[in-house]
Structure 1
C-alpha cells in the first residue's frame, strides 16, 4: 500500500479547483432560489456561460 507523504507535496489541480468553485456557486444559487428549481438561464448565469462563449469568440477572431 502506498501512502502519500505528509507535508508540502500536495499537487494542486487548477481545473478541479475551478469545478469545485462552480459547484459551490451552483449550490448557493439553488439554496437561495425563490423557485423550486433553477432555470436553465439561471444556471448559465451562475456558470458564466455567456462570458466564456464571448471569450472564445474573441479568441477565434483574434481580438
Structure 2
C-alpha cells in the first residue's frame, strides 16, 4: 500500500498542539491594512483553534501532521 501524499500547501498553514488540536492563523491580515484600526490588526495576529466541524476536511489532506 503506498503512502498518502500530504498537501504541502495545507501543511504549511496549520500546526498541531500537544493535545492534537489544529491551530490556524486568522484571515484578513495580508492587505488593505490602512483602513483597519490598530486594535483590529493586533487582534488578527493571534492564532485560533480550528473548529471541530472543519477538522474532518483537513485530516485527509495532512495525514501525517
Q: TM-score, normalised by structure 1?
A: 0.26
- For normalisation by structure 2, the TM-score amounts to 0.26
**Hey, which of these two has a bigger chunk of helix by percent?**
1
Higher RCO (C-alpha 8 Å, min separation 6): 2
Larger Rg: 1
Decide which structure has greater strand share: 2
